[in-house]
Amino acid sequence: MESVNRRTVREINQGEIREKEDSLLVELPLTLEVNGEEFVTMLCTPTNLDDLVLGFLFSEGLADGADDLAELEIDEQEGRVRVTTRRRHELAAKLYGKRTLTTGCGRGTIFYHVTDALKTHRVESDLRLSAGTILAALKGWGEKAELFAKTGCPHSAALLTAEGGILCLAEDAGRHNAVDKVIGRSLREGWSRRDKCLATTGRISSEILIKVAKADIPVVVSRSAATDLAVALAQELGITAAGFARGRRLNVYTHPERILP
Amino acid sequence: MESVNRRTVREINQGEIREKEDSLLVELPLTLEVNGEEFVTMLCTPTNLDDLVLGFLFSEGLADGADDLAELEIDEQEGRVRVTTRRRHELAAKLYGKRTLTTGCGRGTIFYHVTDALKTHRVESDLRLSAGTILAALKGWGEKAELFAKTGCPHSAALLTAEGGILCLAEDAGRHNAVDKVIGRSLREGWSRRDKCLATTGRISSEILIKVAKADIPVVVSRSAATDLAVALAQELGITAAGFARGRRLNVYTHPERILP
């Protein structure tokens, strides 16, 4: 399936009308069935769908890794994915999206889903990167973000090595999906993530931070902002979070020792 | 509850370290209970929560208007909203998030939730706005987007009159929430929306377009991109969709007659 479609659009520029061909990002409603039951309909860009599905299932506690998927059948035309997992993660499936913690339940004051509280732990890592390395990687990734170059639409996420190499980069209409694609890829490839940095164009909200924590990634950097809740979670989980990484500067919100000036 | 928190952050700028005070946007997990049952946990910015709840319930087919809410109790500290509706919308509640249409079911080829297909209809409106009016409103709204000015984080959405006046503007960490807040406000105020334009900083995805359609808003304009699926829905539903409205230009994707050069 194409991930970009061409359309004729009307550009109005300083009062002048011009009809032109433009490229629009495809948004595919993809319904995920897990062990025969409909689980969720995601809106996504049809690239690296196997990575997306694996990363999503991992983030939601429905798969522990690539080996956990006995079957993975993707029908792009129908917009359906059928997954069979080797082990049943019934609690995670049952609790998906449900708020099950309120204040007072141990670490529950800042977690709002019980599976997040159970599946995350403090990330331990000796990773050190320089701010210049991160900024150079962000500057250089324009060439790899092909769909953005064509449409100006998707978010992207990438896994960076300590030296600033881009191990993989994924784009998606949804910033959550771009992160899930990168995590899914790392699971399939068997890459260590504890010595890597996740960089993203999207904001670091609590949901993104929790994905990063579950994937055991010690550093997350965004071109955009981070929310207060994401920063509180990063502080608690030992994750270095940085934002507004643009040009020659960035802001480090938590555990700044991992980012060298 | 504050919508912005202050934190000390480390800025690294061209190799120089500086500790500074920064403002971070608050992200509140808000669990919505409808008629005694937990429905969803939204992540939102704690402003205009009554508008958010009403707009969300309207968008999801669980309320037809402000009169439909018999009780609305918001506990920000606990992060809970309890709503009692005058009428039960059991089908909408049951089908929430479920994919229930596939190809072949009438209009089902581009709708993925049955309630969307049922609750939307072609928007009829004689509204005409000039591109210059829209661009001037977008340029001028910086002053009203206070949380963005402080944190650089939230999206915003606004309802514009034909003359380019900003009737109301709402900000939120989530672009969907910002739109729901604006729609909720319009419902509470009893404003006509058929002669208004919804402007937003966020991308026009299919979910945003469907909210606009259900609210009977004939024109939606974004500073960012629109997806191909959103444009296809706008075409079918008679909605004028425009994107990349920045500086002195914009792209009109569908039904261009409503935007004058």
Whether the CB of B7 is below 8 Å from some CB of chain A: the reply is yes
pLDDT by position in tens, chain A (length 261): 899 999 999 999 999 999 999 999 999 999 999 999 888 889 999 999 999 999 999 998 899 999 999 999 999 988 999 999 998 877 777 777 666 554 434 444 467 776 677 778 899 999 999 999 999 999 988 889 999 999 999 999 999 999 999 999 999 999 999 999 999 999 999 999 999 999 999 999 999 999 999 999 999 999 999 999 999 999 999 999 999 999 999 999 999 999 999
Residue A200's beta-bridge partner residues?
A: A157, A222
What's the pLDDT score for residue B102? 46
What's the pLDDT score for residue A40? 87
pLDDT in tens, B5-26: 999 999 999 999 999 999 999 9
What's the pLDDT score for residue B96? 75
Which residue shows structure tokens 């403002």?
Answer: B23
- Among residues A217, A216, A224, the alpha carbon closest in space to that of A253 is found at A224
pLDDT in tens, B116-165: 777 788 999 999 999 999 999 999 888 899 999 999 999 999 999 999 99
Q: Is the pLDDT of residue B107 over 80?
A: no
Which residue shows structure tokens 């963005």?
Answer: B148
| CATH number at A129-260 | 3.40.140.10
Among the listed residues A105, A153, A168, A197, the single catalytic one is: A105
Whether the CB of B124 is below 8 Å from some CB of chain A: the reply is no
Q: Is there a contact between B250 and B228 (Cβ–Cβ < 8 Å)?
A: no
- Burial grade of B210 (CB within 10 A; 0-12, 13-18, 19 or more): buried
Q: Catalytic residue at A105?
A: yes
Q: Is the pLDDT of residue B105 over 90?
A: no
- Burial grade of B115 (CB within 10 A; 0-12, 13-18, 19 or more): buried
Chain B, window 9-38: residues with a beta carbon less than 8 angstroms from a chain A beta carbon: 9-17, 22, 24-29, 31, 38
Which residue shows structure tokens 């109790």?
Answer: B73
Q: Residue A49 and residue A63: Cα distance in Å, rounded?
A: 16
pLDDT in tens, B221-248: 999 999 999 999 999 999 999 999 999 9
Q: Is there a contact between B83 and B57 (Cβ–Cβ < 8 Å)?
A: yes
What's the pLDDT score for residue A105? 40
Give me the residue spans of the domains in chain A: 129-260
Contact A5 B261 (CB under 8 A): no
Q: Residue A199 and residue A135: Cα distance in Å, rounded?
A: 10
Q: With cut-offs at 50, 70 and 90, classify the pLDDT of residue B108.
A: very low
- Among residues B122, B132, B119, B194, the alpha carbon closest in space to that of B163 is found at B132
Residue A222's beta-bridge partner residues?
A: A200
Tell me B187's DSSP state: H
> What ipTM was assigned to the predicted interfaces of this complex?
0.93
Which helix or strand (DSSP H or E) is residue A156 part of? strand A155-160
Say how many Å lie between the first and final Cα of chain B, rounded. Answer: 44
Q: Is there a contact between B128 and B195 (Cβ–Cβ < 8 Å)?
A: no
At A38, the amino acid letter reads E
Contact A12 B259 (CB under 8 A): yes
CA distance A8 to chain B (A): 8
**Rounded to 5°, angle at Cα A157 from A251 and A128:** 50
Whether the CB of A99 is below 8 Å from some CB of chain B: the reply is yes
Which one is the CATH code of B28-119: 3.30.450.40, 3.40.30.120, 3.30.70.20, 3.10.20.10? 3.10.20.10
Q: Residue B222 and residue B201: Cα distance in Å, rounded?
A: 6
Chain A, window 192-231: residues with a beta carbon less than 8 angstroms from a chain B beta carbon: 203, 205-207, 224-231
